[in-house]
Amino acid sequence: MQSPIYVTKPMLPSPEAFHRELSSIWESHALTNGGQKHEKLEEKLKAYLKAPYLSLFNNGTIALLAAIKALELSGEVITTPFTFPATAHVLAWAGLKPIFCDIDPVTMNIDPKMIVNKITAKTSGILGVHVYGTPCAVIEIDAIAKDYGLKVIYDAAHAFGVELEGKGIGSFGDATMFSFHATKLFHTAEGGAIVCRDSQIKARIDLMKNFGIVNEEEVVFPGINGKLNEIQAALGLANLDILDKEREERQKLHVLYCEELDGIPGLILPEMTPTHTQSLQYFPLRIQGNLFGMDRNRVHDLLKERNIFTRKYFFPLCSDYPCYREENGDLLPIARQVVQEVLCIPFYGTLGMDVAKMIAQIIRSFSQRGTP
């Protein structure tokens, strides 16, 4: 490739459309603390995500931290090792101990069959991640939570717009976090949200993100600054207008990649299932080296030599970070296997069908080469 191709490229509205959104901010001089743009974006996202209640945040990590605090989790929280560092780190920041549980070999999400073994007297919650937008086993997790009196929080940073049996993905569990970071499908440069099903929890979360300030003379608990500002909200509003177009383009790319990469031994493509809709945030391949003829790391390196930058999301496992390694006696065999296989390839609306086809053909050519 002439110029480098990265795994993603954030969508952006035209400068004119962004300026139109900004102009009323220049009139009002209201820059943050729940201004008009913020309120409008909150309403629009609530509808888009079919969310019962939604609170905007300055980023997904702080959103998750605020939800964990608002739900008063304590002691140990069972989570997945196969995720972005933020998922485990927020538990540590909240003074909780992440307990890593192995994943399902097909969905790559926390395996409900393994959760029960991890429950102790100190367990207060389950933190699942809808990895690559595939929903966790929400029914099974809900049943376990009911049996043991646990709270359930989901990290839906990859699952913007996903619906499971017609319901917004945020309708499951006690709270669900979305990230609007620039690398996600929908973004506000930096941003995030918590969706929940209970108006009282929403009220607590809103207090949590504004220092616990109830009014000029009352501060009720140690909250944090989690507010999304008006400039971010303006970008979000302008991006919402072009979101469906972005999704259409990605849908076409998804189909093209699936056609071009179909039937290659040792190459597992993201599965389309009838029960839930796709987030179209990533296009994750799984490369089984012994069958494909080359391992994932080699594919990554050879693509890089051709100026194509893929990502080994989520290598290494959180349970292998030095800060969590000691606490984790479990070898987590499935996660350990999966993390050697995954590779996210370039996937974004403006990539272009020709370029995508070329990338697919290069990957296909590796498969016939055998072990180098």
Ligand X SMILES: *Cc1c(COP(=O)(O)O)cnc(C)c1O
Task: Return all residues near 39 (Cβ < 8 A) that are at least 6 apart.
Answer: none
Minimum separation from the CB atom of position 180 to ligand X (A): 6
Asked if 188 is part of the footprint of ligand X (rule: CB under 6 A), the reply reads: no
Residue 321, judged by CB atoms within 10 A of its CB (0-12, 13-18, 19+), counts as middle
Asked if 110 is part of the footprint of ligand X (rule: CB under 6 A), the reply reads: no
Asked if 292 is part of the footprint of ligand X (rule: CB under 6 A), the reply reads: no
Which residues within the stretch 118-177 sit at the binding site for ligand X (CB under 6 A)? 129, 155, 157-158
Spatial distance between the Cα atoms of 360 and 158, rounded to a whole number of angstroms: 23
Asked if 87 is part of the footprint of ligand X (rule: CB under 6 A), the reply reads: yes
Minimum separation from the CB atom of position 194 to ligand X (A): 12
Spatial distance between the Cα atoms of 304 and 247, rounded to a whole number of angstroms: 26
Q: Given candidates 8, 55, 79, 83, which one binds ligand X under the rule CB under 6 A?
A: 83
Which residues within the stretch 12-71 sit at the binding site for ligand X (CB under 6 A)? 59-61
Beta carbon nearer to ligand X, 67 or 294: 67
Minimum separation from the CB atom of position 371 to ligand X (A): 33
Task: Return all residues near 319 (Cβ < 8 A) that are at least 6 apart.
Answer: 81, 100, 325, 328, 330, 332, 335
Beta carbon nearer to ligand X, 61 or 229: 61
Asked if 84 is part of the footprint of ligand X (rule: CB under 6 A), the reply reads: yes
Question: How remote is the C-alpha of 291 from its chain's centroid?
Answer: 30
Tell me the site size for ligand X, rule CB under 6 A: 14
Minimum separation from the CB atom of position 370 to ligand X (A): 35
Asked if 237 is part of the footprint of ligand X (rule: CB under 6 A), the reply reads: no
Q: Given candidates 37, 69, 151, 181, which one binds ligand X under the rule CB under 6 A?
A: 181
Asked if 194 is part of the footprint of ligand X (rule: CB under 6 A), the reply reads: no
Minimum separation from the CB atom of position 99 to ligand X (A): 18
Among residues 286, 321, 342, the alpha carbon closest in space to that of 85 is found at 321
Q: Tell me the two tokens of residue 126.
A: 């389950």
State the residues that interact with ligand X by CB under 6 A.
59-61, 83-84, 86-87, 129, 155, 157-158, 179, 181, 192
